[in-house]
Amino acid sequence: MAEVKRSLPIGIQSFEKLIEANFLYIDKTKYIWDLPRP
């Protein structure tokens, strides 16, 4: 089976545009809690 490569978007801030262009979206929201706090 052939592997389909999808681009990682840079600068696109609309989910609609991500979906229309078939871009890959990686949700890293959970990592916000691991960031160091002042």
DSSP string, 1-38: -PPPP-PPPSS---HHHHHHTT------GGGGGGS---
Range of the domain at 19: 12-38
Does the residue 3 lie in any domain? no
Q: What percent of the chain has pLDDT over 70?
A: 97
pTM for this predicted structure:
0.52
pLDDT at 10 over 70: yes
Instruction: In whole angstroms, give the CA distance from residue 18 to residue 33.
Output: 25
Does the residue 35 lie in any domain? yes
Number of domains forming the structure of the chain: 1
Does the residue 7 lie in any domain? no
* pLDDT of res. 23: 87
Does the residue 4 lie in any domain? no
Does the residue 27 lie in any domain? yes
Does the residue 18 lie in any domain? yes
Residue pointed to by tokens 């990592």: 31
Does the residue 1 lie in any domain? no
Does the residue 31 lie in any domain? yes
